[in-house]
Chain A
C-alpha cells in the first residue's frame, strides 16, 4: 500500500504548519518523519490518518484519492504517544475493539475474534496479560497493546505518533528493535514520527527530515547521514562543529588555512559555514600537514564508549567538540590544558542561510 502526499498545505490560524509538502511512501516501507518539535511532522501524520484535514492538496492510498474520506473508512492503524488505551476494558477487549464495532454483516464470529486477538497478543508477546486492565501494565507493555489493537483491524497503513516518546531510555531502545523485527515480519506500510535522530537512523528504511513545515530531505538513513542536502539536516543528525568563513574557489578560508570542502551550490564568494561532525575531527600530537590547526584542550568528558574533548582553536578562539573512541583517547594520553593539533577529516560547506 503506497501513499502519495501531494502539495499538502495546513494552516493553524497565523501559523503555517505545513507548506506545500509532497512525499511518496512506497508500499511496505517503514518511514520515519524526523524533525524538531513544531516542524509539522505530527500534523502530517494526522493528515495521512484523516484526523486532520489539509487546507489544500491530496492524499492518495494506492493511487486512490482519500483526502475527503473519513478516518473510519481509511483503514489506518494509529498508535498514540500516550497509548490512548481504553482503561475500562481489559487488554483482550482493547485489542478486540476494532473487530467488535464492525457492522454485523462483516463482523467475525466470537471464536474468530478470540482467536485473532490471542494471535496478536502472542505477536506482541503479551498473551498472558489478556485479562488485565491497562492500569496494571507497564508503559512498554501498554504501547505494545496499543500496537496490537491497531493491527487487529488489518490496517493498510500503520501510523505511529512518537510511539516511544513516553518510555524510559532502556525500554525505548528495546521496543524500537522489536518494532523493526515486527515490521520485517508483517511488512505493513508504516510511518512513524520521532524527534530522536538515533531512533530514526536505527529503525527506518527511509527518513524524511522536516523543518518548519517543509521537507528538508528524504532518503535512506545512509543518504541523509552521509549526504545531507541542507545544513539543517546535517545539524539535526549528530553533533557538528561550525566554522564561519568566506567561500571561494571550492575552499573555505578557516583561520588562514584552506580546507578541502565539497561545496554545495555554485555561488562564489558568499558568506558560508563549514560543518564538521565531532567524530570527523582528528587530534594529533604533532602537525602533519597544513590543514591542521593548533588548539588547546579545555575539557574532557567521558561518555561510556566515547570521549568528548572540547578544544579552543588558538587563532580564532572558536570552540570545537571532538568525539574520540576510548582507544584513540588512551593512545594519545590527552590531558586538560595541553596543546594539540586538530584536523577535520570531512568538511561540508553550506551557504549561510540557516541559523542555529
Chain B
C-alpha cells in the first residue's frame, strides 16, 4: 500500500526530496540526540530524578534559561532598532555598521568571552567606570547576560531586516492619511507586521544563548549556585567520568529548549494568522 497517493504536481521530486530530508535530518540531528537519550536510559528513574533535580543543577537551569531569556529580550528590542536604522536611514558608514552586526557570528566564542571579560573587569576599559557605581559585570550573572546578548544580536537583526525592507511606504502613508500619528502607525501598522520575524529572531537568539558555552565561561566567574551555567555543569560531570549524569542533564536541557522553541513557533504561527 502506498503511504501517499500519487498526485500530479508541477513540482517534481517530492518523494526523493522528502526522503533525502528525513535521511539527512536523521544523520545530522536525530541519531546523535537519540544516542543522548539512549545513554541516559542507563539510569533508573529515581537516579535520573535525583541527578537532574540536585540543588546545584536546578540553580544552573535558572541561570542558563533566565539569562538566555533576558538576553533574547534585550536583543529583540535593540536588534529591531538596529535593523530599523540600517534599513530606513542612509548615513556614512552604514555598510560598515551592517557588516559589524555579523561579527558575533564569525568571532570564535572564546575570543569574545576573553575580550568581554577583559573590558568589563574592574580595571578594564569599561569596567573601571562601572566599578565606582557598584556595578559589577564581569564574573557575575550580569556578565552571562552580556555575553549571551553579544552572541545573539545578529539573529534578531538578520531576521527582522528583510521584513522591514519589504514594508511598503504606502502603508505608512495610508495610515497618516487616515489620521494616525507616527506612534499609532508604529504601534498598529508596523509592529504587527514585524512581530512574526521578531519572534523568530527571539527564538533563534534564545536557543543560541542556551547552548552557548565558550564565551560565557570566561566572563561568568562560574560560581556554583550563582553564576554556573548548565553546559559547564555537563562538562564538569564529563571530566569526572559521570557520563550518565552528564547525558541526563543534557536531556533535560534538550527537552526544555525543544518545548520552548515549539511554543515560540506556535506563537509565531498565530502572529501571522492573516497570511493563509
Residues of A within 8 A of B (CB): 49, 51, 70-72, 75-78, 80, 82, 84, 86-90, 97-98, 100-102, 133-135, 149-150, 152-153
- A101 and B171 in contact (CB under 8 A), knowing A133-B274, A135-B275? no
**Pair B177/A77 contact, Cβ less than 8 Å:** yes
- Tell me whether B101 is interfacial, beta carbon within 8 Å: no
Can you identify 13 A-B contacts, CB atoms within 8 angstroms? A51-B177, A70-B176, A71-B176, A72-B179, A77-B177, A78-B173, A78-B177, A80-B173, A80-B174, A82-B168, A86-B175, A101-B175, A150-B178
User: Which of B75-83, B84-92, B185-193 is the interface stretch?
Assistant: B185-193
Interface residues of B in 143-191 (CB under 8 A from A): 168, 170-171, 173-181, 184, 188-189
> Contact: B189 with A86, CB < 8 Å?
yes
Q: When the two chains form their complex, are residues B178 and A153 in contact, meaning their CB atoms are under 8 A apart?
A: yes
Chain B residues lying within 8 Å of A149, measured Cβ to Cβ, are 174, 178
State which of B173, B180, B272 has its C-beta within 8 Å of the C-beta of A101: B180
Number of B residues whose C-beta is below 8 Å from A? Answer: 21
Q: Please determine whether A101 and B275 come into contact, CB atoms closer than 8 angstroms.
A: no
Contacts of B173 in A (CB 8 A): 51, 71, 78, 80, 84
Q: Are A153 and B171 closer than 8 Å at their CB atoms?
A: no
Given A80-B174, A84-B173, A135-B274, are A72 and B192 also a contact pair (CB < 8 Å)? no
- CB-based contact A86/B184 at 8 Å: no
- The contact of B175 among A75, A97, A102, by CB within 8 Å, is A97
- Complex formed: what's the CA distance from A90 to B181 in Å? 21
Within the assembled complex, what's the spacing in Å between the Cα atoms of A6 and B33?
A: 74
Q: Which residues of B contact A78 (CB under 8 A)?
A: 173-174, 177
Chain B facing A: main interface SS: helix
> When chains A and B are docked, how far (Å) is the Cα of A97 from the Cα of B174?
10
Residues of A within 8 A of B170 (CB): 80, 82, 84
Give bound CA distance, A78 to B275, whole Å.
Answer: 25
In the complex, how many angstroms separate the beta carbon of B273 from the nearest chain A beta carbon? 8
Q: How far is the CB of B149 from chain A (nearest CB, A)?
A: 29
When distances are taken between beta carbons in the complex, the residues of chain A under 8 Å from B189 are 86
Contacts of B176 in A (CB 8 A): 70-72
Give 3 closest A-B pairs by Cβ, nearest first.
Answer: A98-B178, A84-B170, A101-B180
Shortest beta-carbon distance from B75 to chain A in Å: 23
* Bound Cα distance from A100 to B168, whole angstroms: 22
Residues of B within 8 A of A (CB): 168, 170-171, 173-181, 184, 188-189, 192-193, 272, 274-276
Complex Cα distance A150/B171, Å?
Answer: 13
Residues of B within 8 A of A152 (CB): 178
Max count, chain A CB within 10 A of own CB: residue among B177, B184, B192: B177
Q: Which residues of B contact A87 (CB under 8 A)?
A: 193, 274-275
CA distance A97 to B180 in the complex (A): 9
Cβ contacts under 8 Å, B276 to chain A: 135
> Do the beta carbons of A150 and B177 come within 8 Å of each other?
yes
In angstroms, Cα B177 to Cα A72, docked, is 5
A82→B179 CA distance, assembly (Å): 20
Point out the residues of chain A lying under 8 angstroms from B175, CB to CB.
Answer: 86, 97, 101
B274 and A88 contacting across the interface, CB-CB below 8 Å: yes
Q: Which residues of A contact B181 (CB under 8 A)?
A: 72, 101
A70 cross-chain contacts in B, Cβ below 8 A = 176
Considering the complex, give the chain B residue whose CB is closest to the CB of A76.
Answer: B177
List of A residues within 8 angstroms of B184 by Cβ: 101
Known contacts A84-B174, A135-B274; is-contact A97 B188 (Cβ 8 Å): yes
Bound Cα distance from A266 to B170, whole angstroms: 48
Residues from chain B with Cβ under 8 Å of A49 in the complex? 177
B168 touches A102 (CB 8 A): no
Q: Complex Cα distance A88/B271, Å?
A: 9
Is the Cβ of B177 less than 8 Å from the Cβ of A101?
A: no
Say how far A47's CB is from chain B's closest CB, in angstroms: 13
In the complex, what residue of chain B is closest to A87 when comparing beta carbons? B274
Q: Closest Cβ of chain B: how far from A130's Cβ, in Å?
A: 14
| Known interface pairs A101-B184, A101-B188; A71-B193 also in contact (CB < 8 Å) | no
Please give, as numbers and ranges, the residues of chain B lying within 8 Å of A102 by CB-CB distance.
179
Q: Which residue of A lies closest to B187 (CB)?
A: A101
Write out the residue numbers on chain A whose beta carbons fall within 8 Å of the beta carbon of B180.
72, 97-98, 101
Q: Please indicate the chain B residues that have their CB under 8 angstroms from the CB of A72 in the complex.
A: 176-177, 179-181
**Which residue among A86, A100, A102, A149 has the maximum number of chain B CB atoms within 10 Å of its CB?**
A86
A49-B170 Cα distance, complex, nearest whole Å: 13
Q: How far is the CA of A77 from the CA of B184 in the complex (A)?
A: 18
Question: How distant is B174 from chain A, measured CB to nearest CB, in Å?
Answer: 4
Residues of B within 8 A of A101 (CB): 175, 178-181, 184, 188
Residues of A within 8 A of B179 (CB): 72, 75, 98, 101-102, 153
Q: Known contacts A97-B178, A101-B181; can you find 17 more A-B pairs with CB under 8 A?
A: A70-B176, A71-B177, A72-B179, A78-B173, A78-B174, A80-B170, A80-B174, A86-B171, A86-B175, A97-B175, A97-B180, A98-B180, A101-B188, A133-B275, A135-B275, A149-B174, A152-B178
- The distance in angstroms between the C-alpha atoms of A70 and B193, with both chains bound, is 25
Give CA–CA (A133, B273) in the complex, Å.
9
Give complex CA distance A29, B72 in Å. Answer: 56
Residue of A nearest to B168 (CB): A84
A residues near B272, Cβ cutoff 8 Å: 88
Residue of B whose beta carbon sits closest to that of A49: B177
Shortest Cβ distance from residue B50 to the other chain A in the assembled complex, whole angstroms: 49
For residue B196, which residue of chain A has the nearest CB? A88
Docked Cα-Cα span, A72 to B185, in Å, equals 12
Closest Cβ of chain B: how far from A309's Cβ, in Å? Answer: 44
In the complex formed, the residue of B with least CB distance to A102 is B179
For the complex, give the distance between the alpha carbons of A288 and B181 in Å.
Answer: 71
A135 to B272, CA, bound (A): 12
How far does the alpha carbon of A277 sit from the alpha carbon of B201 in the complex, in Å? Answer: 62
Task: Tell me how far the C-beta of A76 lies from the nearest C-beta in chain B, rounded to whole angstroms.
Answer: 6
